[in-house]
Chain A
Amino acid sequence: MATNRSGDGARPADAGRVPAGSPVSGAAPPEAGPDGSDQGPLLRLQGIGKNFGPVQALTGIDLDIPAGQVTALVGDNGAGKSTLIKTIAGIWPPSSGELIWKGRPVHIHSPRDATNLGIAAVYQDLALADNLDIVQNMLLGHEPTRFGLLDEVKMELTAKQTLQDLRVTTVRSIRQPVGSLSGGQRQAVAVAKAVMQDVRLVIMDEPTAALGVTQTEQVLALITRLASTGHAVLLISHNLPDVFQVADRIAVLYLGRLVAVGPAADFDTQSAVEFMTTGGSTRRRDGGRSEPGNTTAIAARPGPSPSSGPEG
Chain B
Amino acid sequence: MARTERGDAPEDQVVPVAPVGEAPEAEQAGEIALASAPDVLAGSLGEYARVWLRRVRNGESGALPVIIGLIIIGAYFQVRSHAFLSAGNIANLMGQAGWIITIAMAQVFVLLLGEIDLSVGYNMAVGATITMWMVSVSHPFPTWAAIVVGLAVSTAIAAIEGMIVAFLKVPSFVVTLAGLLTLSGVLLWLYEQTGSVGLGGVISDHNGFINGLVANNVSPTASWIILIAVVVLAGGFMITRDRRRRVNGLVAPPLSVTLLKIAVMAAIGVVLVIVLNVNRGTLFAQLRGVPWVVPVVLGLLVITTVLLGRTKFGRYVYAIGGNAEAARRAGINLNRIRVAAFALVGLMAGVTGILYASLLGSISNNVNGGQYVLYSVAGAVIGGVSLFGGRGRMLGAVLGGFVVAVIYNGVILLGLGAAGQYIWTGGVLLAAVLLDALARRGTTGATN
Point out residues on A near B: beta carbons under 8 Å.
1-5, 18, 23-24, 26, 111-112, 115, 126-133, 136-137, 140-143, 145, 148-150, 153, 156-157, 160, 167-173, 175-177, 179-180, 182, 184, 214-215, 217-218, 220-222, 224-225, 227-228, 245-246
- B contact residues around A145 at 8 Å (CB): 312
- Which residue of B2, B5, B39 is within 8 Å of A217 (Cβ)? B2
B32: chain A residues at CB < 8 Å are 171-173, 176, 180
A224 near B315 with CB under 8 A, answer no
Interface membership of chain B positions 299-339, coded 1 if the CB is closer than 8 angstroms to chain A and 0 otherwise: 00000001000111001101101110111011110000000
Which of B24, B31, B310, B391 has a CB less than 8 Å from the CB of A131? B391
Q: Which of B249, B315, B329 contacts A127 (CB 8 A)?
A: B329
- Across chains A and B, the number of contacting residue pairs, with CB separation under 8 Å, is 168
Nearest-neighbor residue (CB-CB) of B26 within chain A: A172
- B2 contacts A224, C-beta separation under 8 Å: yes
Q: Could you list 21 A-B pairs, sorted by A, with CB under 8 Å?
A: A1-B6, A2-B9, A18-B7, A140-B319, A140-B326, A150-B311, A167-B17, A169-B16, A172-B28, A172-B41, A173-B251, A175-B36, A177-B36, A182-B28, A214-B23, A215-B21, A218-B20, A218-B21, A222-B17, A224-B3, A245-B2
Q: Does B35 contact A (CB under 8 A)?
A: yes
**Which of A131, A148, A172 meets B322, CB within 8 Å?**
A131
| Interfacial chain B residues near A132, Cβ < 8 Å | 315, 318-319, 322
Q: In the complex, what residues of B have CB within 8 A of residue A142's CB? A: 330-331
Closest residue to A121 on the B side, CB-wise?
Answer: B329
Which one of B8, B18, B245 contacts A169 once the chains associate, using CB atoms below 8 Å?
B18
Chain A residues whose CB sits within 8 angstroms of the CB of B419 once the complex forms: none
User: Considering the chains assembled together, what is the distance between the CA atoms of A215 and B28 in angstroms?
Assistant: 13
Q: How far is the CA of A23 from the CA of B14 in the complex (A)?
A: 14
Assembled-state Cα–Cα distance A129/B324 (Å): 8
Contact-size category for B: 35 or more
Q: Which of A2, A111, A129, A153 contacts B8 (CB 8 A)?
A: A2
Q: What A residues does B20 contact at CB under 8 A? A: 170, 214, 217-218, 221
Q: Report the Cα distance A167→B15, complex, angstroms.
A: 9
| Main secondary structure on A side of the interface with B | helix
8 Å CB interface, B202-250 against A: 244-245, 248-250
- Tell me whether chain B's interface is mostly helix, strand or loop, or mixed: helix
> Could you say which residues of chain A place their CB within 8 Å of the CB of B414?
none
Q: B390: CB under 8 A from chain A? A: yes
Q: Is the CB of A176 within 8 A of B9?
A: no
Q: Report chain B residues within 8 Å CB of A176.
A: 32, 35-36
14 additional contacts (CB under 8 A) given A2-B7, A157-B248, A222-B17: A2-B6, A23-B8, A115-B331, A129-B390, A150-B310, A150-B312, A157-B249, A160-B250, A167-B14, A180-B32, A182-B24, A225-B17, A227-B7, A228-B7
A153 engages B244 (CB within 8 Å) = yes
Q: A218 vs B20: C-alpha distance in the bound complex, in angstroms? A: 7
CB–CB B331/A141 < 8 A: yes
